């Protein structure tokens, strides 16, 4: 049956690489040039129904629930059909999947060959060359730049040819350290074009953090810009790259694009002007033929222990998953203007600023600024000016903006908005209501999406339902093909057992493989298996806890490990501890996440000084903050640094972070029995220090 179905709807289009495109316009890019347990129904929301055209070919599928059931019952037919119709193949695949979750082995679309950049660019240039692909919403409002698919393809080809001219070849990792800009998108697509996996590093990371990512991936090439501009401030990006590269002997070339045009020191035979090189190159570039399972990109993210891990995604599976989730979670229609205000340095930027919207042929907004620049009406003024249909952010931005007067929202016309999405952290009830009612005027769908760097795309979200169906806040329901399972994680005889039925909470895992799942951690496959596949055998373990309510809807309860979430940015507390432990006066540190009104969580550090250190504590705290800023990034700097005489440890030496969390939130009456600690008296001392600090 599968074969017959595939045949009926096989609409694979022949690939066409030789498309004439306009010359790259350098001047444009040079000088002139974001925990909901709410069950509050959204008041007057309109749910849209967006059936998948392919669903017509599936037997017995009439509703979205039918389609979801079918996707779990016959995953190969489901995903295979979509892959045939939604991806332009150079050579079609022979086998849909070969996965074994118990061994962490994931392979999709075996035998298939494709080029991802052809899918995001060339096939749209064939049909609609002058359609706007990117709207670069630059820092200064009203100075946006529109880039058509034809222009983006030309720029991509010139950049790809530049990379090739420098000797970059298939399989070489390329580090991209750039602000949101068309040339950064072109850099990602150029890497995809020549089969060189990109490693985009968020341009807010410090030189040390950048260096460690360059070293781990062994990148010989770095692409950056002279400076970045954000919220009216200039950021010296090239200088940060210089500092990082000084510790990266493997780097052979740094390609520098212009954002502000400021003269920056250029080292002979190491630094090259990207635009100058690109102008010498053709606007056509033969795409590399890639196997479905060749690496597409890696992206570093934090775990609970150890250094950040390079999560690796591959070609066809990631592309299909980003395409399908963008289209169906957000109902992207032909003339829509889709706006995800994430930075390309995070997975949200990869999947929902770049790959997802572009593969759907949509117009995607690249936001360079911050939500409060030049004033708190920035987002909504932009919605009015650009006529945005979908808006996707992190809840922290909502919590920040709702503090300002509603007039900042209401004075702008938001009638074009249909979907309001959020991701990265729990959407608290107040923020969810404000977003839905004030911004969305109660008529937009609220799309809270749960997913991770490792999942490649959206996993749990409200999905289109039948008209009139009940609408709730919260991530809620699994996407097609996704089967969440909960396991008991409470110590005791039932630990590790699956929790069936409704109204249960436990460790959130996924049973069936899906095309967008990461394939490995670069250079450390054992860590991949240990982290994701060994804790609950036969499933993928997310690291998050979840609650399945009485209706079967899912609500995320937060991380189960020592990863914290600051304004939607994930960081392991161990990374912050490692940075502070480098200080010469510090003996030991413990960092926990503590609730924050706007950022969701902030790091709170408990620090023990070495014997005999008698320095001013404020000076030490300042030095420690600088150290974290220098080693990681500004967002990871602890809000509170408390110098304490000791830490609460078990007799085996394990720090009881649970106790520190209670102290940080003034809940010392909930500490419980501390008599089993190695030194129970230390708890009182920490409580006193905490109170004195406040
Ligand atoms: O804890 C979950 C939280 O963000 C983590 C993933 O972070 P990262 O890999 O950086 O990707 C963020 C963007 C996809 C998750 O393990 N998280 C993500 N979405 C939600 C969420 N927590 C609550 N609700 C969400 N919608």
Q: What is the pLDDT of residues 569-614, one digit of tens each?
A: 999 999 999 999 999 999 999 999 999 999 999 999 999 999 999 9
Provide the token pair at 93. 């695949």
Q: Considering only CA atoms, which residue is closest to atom 15 of ligand 1?
A: 452
Residue 556 beta carbon below 6 angstroms from any ligand 1 atom: yes
**Upstream peptide bond of 374 is cis (omega within 30 degrees of 0):** yes
The band of 193, judged by pLDDT with boundaries at 50, 70 and 90, is very high
The set of residues, in sequence order, having a beta carbon less than 8 Å from that of 669 and lying 6+ positions away, is none
Q: Whose CA is closest to 370, among 202, 603, 180, 223?
A: 180
Q: How many CB atoms lie within 10 A of CB 77?
A: 21
CA distances from residue 252 to 125, 159, 240 in whole angstroms, order as listed: 34, 17, 17
Q: Whose CA is closest to 649, among 641, 639, 664, 659?
A: 659
d(CA 556, ligand 1 centre) in Å:
9
Provide the token pair at 558. 């937060």
Q: Whose CA is closest to 328, among 585, 71, 524, 90?
A: 71
Q: Considering only CA atoms, which residue is closest to atom 7 of ligand 1?
A: 452
DSSP classification of residue 55: G
pLDDT digits (tens, 9 = 90+) for 197-246: 999 999 999 999 999 999 999 999 999 999 999 999 999 999 999 999 99
Average pLDDT over residues 185-189: 98
pLDDT digits (tens, 9 = 90+) for 133-172: 999 999 999 999 999 999 999 999 999 999 999 999 999 9
Residue 544 beta carbon below 6 angstroms from any ligand 1 atom: yes
CA distances from residue 613 to 66, 589, 616, 643 in whole angstroms, order as listed: 67, 15, 9, 12
**pTM as predicted:** 0.91
Question: CA-CA distance, 585 to 596, in Å (whole number)?
Answer: 29
d(CA 169, ligand 1 centre) in Å:
34
d(CA 137, ligand 1 centre) in Å:
25
Residue 428 beta carbon below 6 angstroms from any ligand 1 atom: no
**For the chain, what is the mean pLDDT?**
90
Residue 290 has pLDDT above 50, yes or no: yes
ipTM of this model? 1.00
Provide the token pair at 343. 């930075």
**Left (φ > 0), alpha (ψ -120 to 50) or beta: where does 146 sit?**
beta
d(CA 348, ligand 1 centre) in Å:
10
d(CA 449, ligand 1 centre) in Å:
8
Question: CA-CA distance, 315 to 82, in Å (whole number)?
Answer: 15
Phi, psi of 279 (to 5 degrees): -60, -25
Q: Considering only CA atoms, which residue is closest to atom 14 of ligand 1?
A: 452
Question: CA-CA distance, 628 to 445, in Å (whole number)?
Answer: 39
Whose tokens are 């899906």? That residue is 514
pLDDT digits (tens, 9 = 90+) for 643-678: 999 999 988 888 999 999 999 999 988 988 888 898
Q: Whose CA is closest to 181, among 312, 272, 274?
A: 274
d(CA 308, ligand 1 centre) in Å:
16
Q: Whose CA is closest to 176, among 188, 194, 158?
A: 188
Q: How many CB atoms lie within 10 A of CB 338?
A: 25
Lowest mean pLDDT among 3-7, 91-95, 375-379: 3-7
Average pLDDT over residues 553-565: 91
Average pLDDT over residues 53-69: 82
Q: How far is CA 410 from the centre of its chain?
A: 30
């Amino acid at each position: 049956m599968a074969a017959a179905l595939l045949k009926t709807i096989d609409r694979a289009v022949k690939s066409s690489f030789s498309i004439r495109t306009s010359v790259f316009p350098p001047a444009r890019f040079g000088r002139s040039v974001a925990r909901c347990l709410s069950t509050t129904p959204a008041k007057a929301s309109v749910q849209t129904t967006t059936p998948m055209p392919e669903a017509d070919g599936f037997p017995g599928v009439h509703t979205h629930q039918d389609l979801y059931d079918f996707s779990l019952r016959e995953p190969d037919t489901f995903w295979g059909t979509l892959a045939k119709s939604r991806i332009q193949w150079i050579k079609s695949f022979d086998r849909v999947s070969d996965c074994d979750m118990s061994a962490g082995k994931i392979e999709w679309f075996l035998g298939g060959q494709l080029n991802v950049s052809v899918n995001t660019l060339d096939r749209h240039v064939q049909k609609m060359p002058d359609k706007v692909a990117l709207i670069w919403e630059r820092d200064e409002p009203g100075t946006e730049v529109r880039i058509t698919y034809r222009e983006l393809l030309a720029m991509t080809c010139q950049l790809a040819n530049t990379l090739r001219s420098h000797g970059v070849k298939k399989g070489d990792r390329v580090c991209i350290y750039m602000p949101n800009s068309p040339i950064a998108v072109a850099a990602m697509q150029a890497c995809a074009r020549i089969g060189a996996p990109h490693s985009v590093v968020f341009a807010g990371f410090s030189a040390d953090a950048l260096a460690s990512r360059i070293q781990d991936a062994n990148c010989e090439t770095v692409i950056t810009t002279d400076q970045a501009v954000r919220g009216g401030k200039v950021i010296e990006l090239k200088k940060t790259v210089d500092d990082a590269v000084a510790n990266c002997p493997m780097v052979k070339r740094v390609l520098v694009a212009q954002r502000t045009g400021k003269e920056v020191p250029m080292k002979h035979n190491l630094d090259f002007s990207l635009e100058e090189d690109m102008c010498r190159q053709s606007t056509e570039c033969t795409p590399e033929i890639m196997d479905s399972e060749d690496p597409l990109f890696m992206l570093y993210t934090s775990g609970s222990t150890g250094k950040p891990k390079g999560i690796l995604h591959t070609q066809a599976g990631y592309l299909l998953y980003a395409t399908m989730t963008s289209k169906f979670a957000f109902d992207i229609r032909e003339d829509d203007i889709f706006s995800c205000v994430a930075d390309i340095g995070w997975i949200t930027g990869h999947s929902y600023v770049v790959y997802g919207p572009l593969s759907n042929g949509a117009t995607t907004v690249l936001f360079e600024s911050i939500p409060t620049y030049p004033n708190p009406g920035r987002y909504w003024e932009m919605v009015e000016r650009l006529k945005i249909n979908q808006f996707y952010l992190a809840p922290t931005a909502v919590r920040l903006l709702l503090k300002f007067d509603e007039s900042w929202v209401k004075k702008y016309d938001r009638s074009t908005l249909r979907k309001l999405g959020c991701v990265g952290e729990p959407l608290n009830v107040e923020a969810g209501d404000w977003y839905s009612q004030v911004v969305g005027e109660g008529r937009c769908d609220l799309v809270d999406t749960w997913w991770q760097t490792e999942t490649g795309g959206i996993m749990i979200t409200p999905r289109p339902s039948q008209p009139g169906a009940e609408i709730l806040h919260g991530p809620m329901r699994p996407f097609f093909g996704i089967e969440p399972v909960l396991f008991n994680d409470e110590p005791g005889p039932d630990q590790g057992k699956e929790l069936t039925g409704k109204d249960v909470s436990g460790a959130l895992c996924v049973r069936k493989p899906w095309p967008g799942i990461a394939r490995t951690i670069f250079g450390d496959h054992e860590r991949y298996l240990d982290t994701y596949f060994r804790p609950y055998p036969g499933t993928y373990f997310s690291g998050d806890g979840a609650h399945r309510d009485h209706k079967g809807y899912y609500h995320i309860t937060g991380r189960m490990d020592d990863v914290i979430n600051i304004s939607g940015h994930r960081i392991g507390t161990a990374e912050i501890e490692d940075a502070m432990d480098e200080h010469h006066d510090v003996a030991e540190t413990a960092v926990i996440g503590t609730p924050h009104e706007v950022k969701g969580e902030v790091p709170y550090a408990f620090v023990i000084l070495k014997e005999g250190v008698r320095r001013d504590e404020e000076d030490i705290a300042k030095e420690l903050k600088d150290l974290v800023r220098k080693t990681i990034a500004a967002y990871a700097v602890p809000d509170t640094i408390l110098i304490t005489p000791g830490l609460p440890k078990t007799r085996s030496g394990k720090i009881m972070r649970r106790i520190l969390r209670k102290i940080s939130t003034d809940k010392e009456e909930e500490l419980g029995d501390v008599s089993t600690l190695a030194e129970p008296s230390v708890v009182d001392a920490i409580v006193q220090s905490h109170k004195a600090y406040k």
